């Protein structure tokens, strides 16, 4: 499977989940499957583009400053979604707040792999940023048509990108802030 297929499929699944959560749906319905199918086709034939990161940034700006992984508002530091030392961008899109506990637990582990090791599915807007950054990286590196299994060193973890999504009732767009 190419990186293009892998990343676009995940992004289309994400759009389906995002629509269902926004609708307050308990399970996926025909409308959500339609959104996924149309977006996947549009991305593959080039008539649709992944959304800008701006909408996500707006959410970050209106949110209280809290850990993007657990919602704690204690001592926070910046964490890179795609690690800088493996080619993640220097941009603001690539940083989130993380508390000391999450930071020291996560260390250099890929964020999706770290969450999945705890049996947690990523918050949808966190996953959206991760996928957008992964797609932007792959497009600018000209590797979208590479086999995802042999794509070499990447700042993201292809194998950790979810291929199936839980029912919308078990998903959330973003972490709920809480006291540490």
124-140 vs 54-62: helix axis angle to the nearest 10? Answer: 140
The site map against Zn ion for 48-67 (x = CB under 5 A) is: -------------------x
Sign of the dihedral through C-alpha 129, 96, 81, 116: negative
**Restricting to residues 64-83, which ones interact with Zn ion according to CB under 5 A?**
67, 69-70, 72
Q: How many residues are present in the chain?
A: 180
Q: At its nearest, how many Å lie between Zn ion and the CB of residue 48?
A: 34
**117 contacts 134 by C-beta, under 8 angstroms:** no
- Residue with Cβ nearer Zn ion (74 or 170): 74
- Residue with Cβ nearer Zn ion (8 or 97): 97
**Restricting to residues 85-104, which ones interact with Zn ion according to CB under 5 A?**
99, 102
Q: At its nearest, how many Å lie between Zn ion and the CB of residue 147?
A: 35
Q: Which of 115, 132, 96, 106 is nearest to 171 (CA)?
A: 115
Q: Which residues bind Zn ion (CB under 5 A)?
A: 67, 69-70, 72, 99, 102
């Amino acid at each position: 499977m190419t990186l293009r297929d892998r990343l676009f499929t995940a992004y289309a699944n994400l759009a389906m989940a995002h629509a269902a959560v926004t609708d307050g749906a308990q399970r996926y319905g025909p409308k959500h499957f339609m959104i996924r199918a149309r977006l996947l086709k549009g991305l593959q034939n080039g008539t649709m583009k992944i959304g800008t990161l701006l909408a996500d940034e707006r959410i970050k700006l209106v949110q209280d400053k809290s850990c993007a992984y657990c919602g704690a508002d204690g001592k926070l530091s910046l964490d890179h979604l795609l690690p800088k030392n493996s080619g993640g961008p220097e941009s603001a899109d690539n940083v989130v707040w993380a508390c000391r506990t999450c930071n020291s637990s996560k260390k250099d582990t890929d964020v999706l792999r770290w969450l999945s090791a705890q049996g947690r599915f990523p918050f949808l807007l966190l996953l959206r940023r991760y996928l957008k950054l992964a797609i932007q990286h792959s497009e600018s590196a000209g590797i979208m048509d590479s086999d995802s299994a042999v794509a070499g060193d990447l700042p993201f973890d292809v194998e950790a990108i979810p291929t199936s999504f839980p029912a919308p009732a078990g998903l959330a767009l973003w972490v709920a802030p809480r006291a540490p």
